[in-house]
Every structure is written in structure tokens, then in C-alpha cells.
Amino acid sequence: MNLNINKNWHQQHYDSLAFGSRIADLVAKGMGSWRFIILQTVFVVIWMGLNLVGYVKHWDAYPFILLNLLFSTQAAYAAPIIMMSQNRQNERDRIQAQEDYITNKEAKIEIEALAQKLNSIDVEKLDKIIKLLENMQ
């Protein structure tokens, strides 16, 4: 028995994703948000503030080499993860375009059939009108 009959292709695609793919999508979604930008900005301001005003211990004194290293590491991991998510989005877009194409082809066939049916109805009506006019003469 096929349990996927009630699922649309979006749900089927999501269900087919591996754990790593879902994590990559979540990371890309999170990093591409205003919330992430704001939180990261707050983190940087706090980091720099604590290191600039810290009299006793500077764990990352100006020019903040450790902070730069953290950002470089973040970028080194974030870029491929975001690219994986974008590749999956491209694949979803291709699938959706194919589904739309199939739907459009089916709709075109149905519309053409309806147009032919309407044409035949019009022809039948015209034939009846012509016969009535001929009978009246």
C-alpha cells in the first residue's frame, strides 16, 4: 500500500532528505536571518567591549586575532553548508518546474477537448437553426 498518495511532492521531498541535509537546511535558514545577524552583532560588540575595557585579562587583545579566527572558521563551514542547501533548493525548483509543466500540459489537453466539445455543440445548434429556417421556407 502506498502511503505517499496523500502527500504532495513538497512533503515527499522533505521526507526523503537525510539527517545531514535537514541540518544543512536549518543552518542555512538560521544564518540567513535577521535574528542571526543581530545576535552575531551583539556577540561581537560584547566580545570587543570586554576585551577593550578588561584591565586584568585580555583573552583577545586588539586587533582581535581570536575573533577573526572564529569568523574565518565560521565562514569556512558556513559557506559549503549554505551551498548544499542552495543546491537542494535548486533541485526542488527543478522538480516544481517539472510538476508545473506536467500540470500545464494536462490542462492544455483538457482545455482543447472542452473547446472541441463547445465547437461541436455550436455546430449542432447552427445545423438545427439552418434546418428550422429551411423548414420555414
Write out pLDDT tens, residues 64-120: 899 999 999 999 999 999 998 888 889 889 988 999 999 999 999 999 999 998 888
Could you tell me the pLDDT band of residue 5, with boundaries at 50, 70 and 90?
Answer: low
Q: Which of 51, 54, 53, 70 minimizes the C-alpha distance to 62? A: 51
| CA 61 to chain centroid | 43
Other C-beta atoms closer than 10 Å to the C-beta of 25 total 19
Say whether the peptide bond before residue 63 is cis (omega within 30 degrees of 0): yes
- Taking only the tens place, the pLDDT of each residue in 22-67 is 888 888 888 889 999 999 999 999 988 888 887 667 788 778 899 9
pLDDT at position 137 is 74
Alpha-carbon distance of 105 to 92, in angstroms, equals 20
Domain regions of the chain by residue span: 9-99
